[in-house]
Structure 1
């Protein structure tokens, strides 16, 4: 009996930014959907449970005299970073879908730029949000 050919796997392929961006695109999409759904259910449950539960939810994600709760920052910055990474990667895929950007150097540069853009856009967004405090 002839041996079947093996599928390529991570020990054969050379790791590159394009692979990371592909994985990040899937992870950020799934992560935003999961966290968004969990926050929506939590918000609805808190609203249905009464004033005290709703106030506890709102306190986690709003600014008061003491500032924003650290958990609110972690969730907010994480979702913002995921959003910008997913958006940039989606734009990269749009360019690839029209048949451009498949050259190795351009593909690698495009992948790196999505990650750079997401970090810079997140930093700029949160600098704007927190400006004036």
Structure 2
């Protein structure tokens, strides 16, 4: 069987050929946030179940990290909570964007970039609003 010489074969574009855009970032973020929520959520559920099985002292330690105690929450609890909330809202907005794209709409370059940017803006604003309500809304 004859083989084609390496010079005559077409090359697929390398990542350096593509111009980076917000639509690419949002697509990657959709995958990362989904995997991140699954991984962190699984760790938290296993920790919670182990704390339940471990007795009152281990459960109290879990609650100290993830609940408000006398008006203060552990910094780790805030970081994990805010991070998961941001991931959730980004994944939600990106999922809605993909749903719209699945209908065949929004593939025009300008509209696609605008919609991708709006998913990031929405996720940040929704996270801020959610945590503002949790902290000051009561």
TM-score, normalised by the number of residues in structure 1 = 0.96
Q: How does 1:42-53 map to 2 (within 5 A)?
A: 42-53=47-58
| In structure 2, distance between residues paired with 1:132 and 1:86 | 25
| In structure 1, distance between residues paired with 2:124 and 2:107 | 24
Indicate which of 119, 126, 132 corresponds to 2:124: 119
Answering whether residue 81 of structure 2 is matched by residue 71 of structure 1, we say: no
SS in 2 for 1:64: coil
| In structure 2, distance between residues paired with 1:8 and 1:88 | 29
- 1:12 corresponds to which residue? 17
- 2:66 corresponds to which residue? 61
1:42-86: per-residue Cα shift (whole Å, max 9, x none)?
A: 111111111101110011011112501100000000000000000
SS in 2 for 1:2: coil
| In structure 1, distance between residues paired with 2:71 and 2:20 | 45
- C-alpha root-mean-square deviation of aligned residues, in Å? 1.2
1:61-120: per-residue Cα shift (whole Å, max 9, x none)?
A: 111125011000000000000000000000000000000000000000000000000000
SS in 2 for 1:22: helix
Indicate which of 61, 76, 80 corresponds to 2:85: 80
* Stretch moving more, 65-74 or 111-120: 65-74
- Structure 2: state its 5+ residue gaps: none
